[in-house]
Amino acid sequence: MALKDLVADRSKLTEAAIEEIVRDYIRYDPGTYDVVLTPAGLALSNDSKVLVVLVAIAGWQYVVDEVRAVDTKPAALEHMTGIAGGTLRPTLKKLKDAHLVVSTSDGYAIRVANLDAIGRVIEGEKAVAKSGPRKSKRTAAGEEESTTNGADSSLGSRISKGRRKTGVPIRSSLGQLVDNGFFAEERTLGQVVTRLHEMAIIAKTTSLSGPIAEMVRSGKLARKKVTEGGKDVWSYRSASHA
C-alpha cells in the first residue's frame, strides 16, 4: 500500500458507505433539498442523530447532479435534528473532540477520514437497542455500574466495539422494481435512477450497470438499444414482457 492510499478525499466517499449509515434514518427530498429524519432517525441519540444528518448531507453528491452548499451551523442543525440549541452545542463539541466532525465555513461536516468510525458509532447504537434495557450490577467495591447485557453504549466504546455492515441494496431494489412491474415497459438507466431516487435509494447510473447486467445475464431482464437524446443507449424490460 502506498502512502497516497491513506489520504482521505471527500470526492472518494463511496455511495455504499454513506448509504449503509443513513439508509434507515434519512430520506432525501431533492425538490426542497432537505434531508428528513425517519421515525427511526428521530429515535436515535443526539450524538447519532447529528452524525447521520451530516453524513446524509455529504451524500447529496450522489443524489443530485448539482450539489449546493448546505447551512450546517448550529441554528440550521437544530432545525434539521430537532435538538434544542442548549443540548446541540455540547453534542457538537463532543463529536468534534472525538474527531468525528469538523468546523467548516458552512458550519459542521463529517471528518472524511473517520467515516468508518461514524458508521461503527451508529451500528453500536443499534446493538445497544437490540440487547435490551440497561441493568445494574454491583462491583467488588459495592458500587453499582450500569450495563446493557454486556454492551457499553458510551461513544468511545461504540467506536471501538461496533461493526458496520457492508453492501448496498441496489440489487434487492432492482429486484423489487421487477416484481412491482416497473420493467413491464422499456426503461433506460436514467429512468431507473430517477425511480430509485423516489424510493430514497442513493444511486447513479455507474452503480447500476453491474447489478442490472447481472439481471440480464440471469434472464430476469432483456435489453436492447434505443435512441435517447440523439444517443444510442440500452433500455431494459422484464424478460416476461420482452
In the chain, what are the domain boundaries? 7-120, 170-241
What is this structure's pTM? 0.53
For 112, how many CA atoms within 13 A lie in the half-sphere containing its CB? Answer: 12
The mean pLDDT value of the chain amounts to 78
Confirm if 15 and 207 have CB atoms less than 8 A apart.
yes
Query: Is the fold of 7-120 the same as that of 170-241?
Result: yes
pLDDT in tens, 19-51: 888 888 999 988 889 999 999 989 899 999 999
**Rounded CA separation 140/204 (Å):** 56
Confirm if 118 and 101 have CB atoms less than 8 A apart.
no
Residue 88: alpha-carbon gap to chain centroid: 21
Give pLDDT, residue 14. 67
**Rounded CA separation 48/67 (Å):** 24
In this structure, what C-alpha cell is assigned to residue 163?
A: 461493526
pLDDT in tens, 184-223: 999 998 889 888 888 877 777 777 878 888 888 899 999 9
Strands, DSSP E only, in the chain?
Answer: 26-29, 34-37, 101-104, 107-110, 135-138, 144-147, 187-188, 221-228, 231-238
Architecture of the CATH domain 170-241: Orthogonal Bundle (1.10)
Give pLDDT, residue 1. 52
pLDDT in tens, 77-108: 999 999 998 999 999 999 999 889 999 888 99
Mean pLDDT of the 158-176 span: 59
CATH topology of domain 7-120: Arc Repressor Mutant, subunit A (1.10.10)
| Per-residue pLDDT at 129 exceeds 80 | no
